[in-house]
Structure 1
Amino acid sequence: MTFRNLMASAAVVALGAGAPALAQVESSDPIRMTLHDWTGQLITTNIMARVLEEAGYNVELVQADYLAQFAGLKTGDLHVAMEMWETTGREAMDEAVATGTVVNMGSTGMEAIEEWWYPSYVKELCPGLPDWTALNDCAEVFATAETAPRGRYLGGPVTWGGFDPERVEALGLNYEVIHAGTDAALFAELESAYQRQAPILLWVYAPHWAPMQFDGEWVEFPEYTAECYEDPSWGINPDMAFDCGKPRGPIWKVAWAGVADKWPGAASAIEAFSIDNDTMGGLIALVDLEGGAVEDVVEDWLWENEDTWRAWVEG
């Protein structure tokens, strides 16, 4: 047995000590928490799930689409989503909350950035960066056989949203958006390009290990405002919306409105959950860069931070 497995086994034993019995919780029905397709969200959700299990709750993890999950949250078929990013999910979240069937459970403590990003060495080939107006002058730098003569922008999986094709059209950018199939594929391509010092322009987000490990910059688009997304007459292009950068802000927790009535103790723990960008970036690196299993990384974190997570449960 490896040291990591020994530690994980010890953590399971230690975490079980003193945990309330299932009979003490308000309902033994499973709390269904959603899983998405990026490492940080898997870690966040598994941490919360394990904490709830240690408090005696029955938890079920369900794979769900990032935006389509709101249909299940509205009906109560799904119960908790641990990461709704201000940058890409605010519109869907606000619409769901407005129905009264979904509630915002507060910030995770993490602050989201999602934007076009490039390695610093690319500035030698496109010295006008990070100003977005330099992009068309450098389109050939980022062109590939697939997109030439247009530049290539590697976006996140299409389910992430983000309005990148709309931004390209609204700002008149000579680029084609190519969506990565998965989070892992997105950053594998970044690693490969960085090792070869090859030009690349792609979606990078924080909290994540990539902007911590690689020297680079986010493109500076016109500053985001709500009007930019909602009013075509606002901004540089008077005929189209999305002619600005992406919003930045908190990563939220959301839940079916019935969670607080059916599992009030769990609702309080979810509201209390908080973790910062640097901590999450480090945990993601343990999985993506060092090959750790999400479950092992979560167990180690629980072992090392018992005072933190027990405070969520005990109030």
Structure 2
Amino acid sequence: MKKKTASICALALSAMTAASAAWAVESNDPIKLTLHDWSGQLINTKIMGSILQEAGYSIEYVQADYIAQFAGLKTGDLHLAMEIWETTGREALDDATATGKVVNVGETGLMAIEEWWYPSYMKERCPGLPDWQALKECSEEFATAETAPMGRYVGGPVTWGGFDEERVEALELDFEVVHAGTDAALFAELESAYQRQDPVVLWVYVPHWAPAKYDGEFVEFPPYSAECYSDASVGVNPDLAYDCGKPRGPIWKAAWAGLQEKWPGAYGIIDAYRISNEEMSAMVGKADLDGVDIDTVVADWMSANKDRWSAWIAK
């Protein structure tokens, strides 16, 4: 009889807990999170989506362009973007938040570097590296049959921004910028070149597995400043802007301004969310190198970090 009573109590408690969770959800409308075209962003976003689902919220994933997504965030057609990089997205983020229709929900915990990167074997062919001025003297060492006598720089997908063409012109580098079509194609290019010790300099970012797997360095350009991007008179070239390296700094969360009012509990969870470069690099490595499905990578993180994300929900 005691066992039966205990069972009934457990069922009642479970029902009360479920009812409480359902009551806590301010709206059953789906929170729409944006997905982009690189593994880290997909993992980051799906972890956030999974946590919100655990809290009882309905979520929907929407494929969106990295910069163009701000139009949807302003109108409320999209609700949350989990990765706005200080390196490439801060200008668009500031423009959007200035309208009052988008809010910066703070840092994800990830710290970004996006810059030109070369394998260490290229340093033997261009001894002045990592100083960017070495590229002026040995651009031909980075040439391919398609770009010779100019060097080739493999940029990220065009949608990532980054001002690489402007940087090449402002710093008077004899390089042709060739954009990879996708994140996967970018790192396939690195893998192929590295295996054959072929010339390559390309866009590499952190957090990512590549700098851990391959021996190499980032090019050291003149230090970034906001004025370098906005004022042609600032920097080594008095006539052109973008004559410096890319900015470095946090990866931000951006949301539709109405999210906090419509789903205040969800907003609190999003605000509390933090993850580290080391965690993300390891997860991206599992997906990209080991071939583990991204949903499995996310599920494994959720299982291993239950106490952590439960505390974010409880705040």
Alignment of 1:255-294 (within 5 A): 255-294=255-294
Tell me, in whole angstroms, the C-alpha distance in 1 between the residues paired with 2:205 and 2:20. Answer: 38
CA contact (8 A) 2:228 2:241 kept: yes
**Percent identical residues:** 68
Q: TM-score, normalised by structure 1?
A: 0.93
Tell me, in whole angstroms, the C-alpha distance in 1 between the residues paired with 2:40 and 2:22. Answer: 29
Q: How big is the shift at 1:130?
A: 0.4
Tell me, in whole angstroms, the C-alpha distance in 2 between the residues paired with 1:311 and 1:45. Answer: 19
Tell me, in whole angstroms, the C-alpha distance in 2 between the residues paired with 1:219 and 1:311. Answer: 41
The 3-state SS of whatever aligns with 1:107 is: strand
> What is the one-letter code of the residue matched to 1:237?
N
Alignment of 1:296-307 (within 5 A): 296-307=296-307
- Is the aligned partner of 1:122 residue 2:104? no
Tell me, in whole angstroms, the C-alpha distance in 1 between the residues paired with 2:169 and 2:243. Answer: 8
Tell me, in whole angstroms, the C-alpha distance in 1 between the residues paired with 2:174 and 2:249. Answer: 29
> What is the one-letter code of the residue matched to 1:82?
M
How many residue pairs were aligned?
300
1:5 corresponds to which residue?
none
The 3-state SS of whatever aligns with 2:300 is: helix
1:41 corresponds to which residue?
41
Query: 1:135-186: CA deviations, max 9, x gaps?
Result: 0211111111111111000000000000000000000000000000000000
- Is the aligned partner of 1:191 residue 2:196? no
Q: TM-score, normalised by structure 2?
A: 0.93
Q: How big is the shift at 1:24?
A: 3.2
1:11 corresponds to which residue?
none
The 3-state SS of whatever aligns with 1:87 is: coil
Structure 1 stretches of 4+ moved >3 Å: 16-24
CA contact (8 A) 2:208 2:280 kept: yes
Structure 2: 5+ residue stretches without partners: 1-13
1:100 corresponds to which residue?
100
> What is the one-letter code of the residue matched to 1:85?
W
Q: How big is the shift at 1:19?
A: 9.7
Range that drifts further, 238-247 or 188-197? 188-197
Instruction: Please provide the CA RMSD for this pair.
Output: 1.4
Find the structure with the greater CA-based Rg: 2
- Is the aligned partner of 1:181 residue 2:163? no
> What is the one-letter code of the residue matched to 1:145?
A
Alignment of 1:141-220 (within 5 A): 141-220=141-220
> What is the one-letter code of the residue matched to 1:125?
R
CA contact (8 A) 2:237 2:243 kept: yes
> What is the one-letter code of the residue matched to 2:279?
T
Q: How big is the shift at 1:20?
A: 5.9
Q: How big is the shift at 1:21?
A: 4.1
Q: How big is the shift at 1:134?
A: 0.6
CA contact (8 A) 2:143 2:199 kept: no
Tell me, in whole angstroms, the C-alpha distance in 1 between the residues paired with 2:24 and 2:266. Answer: 12
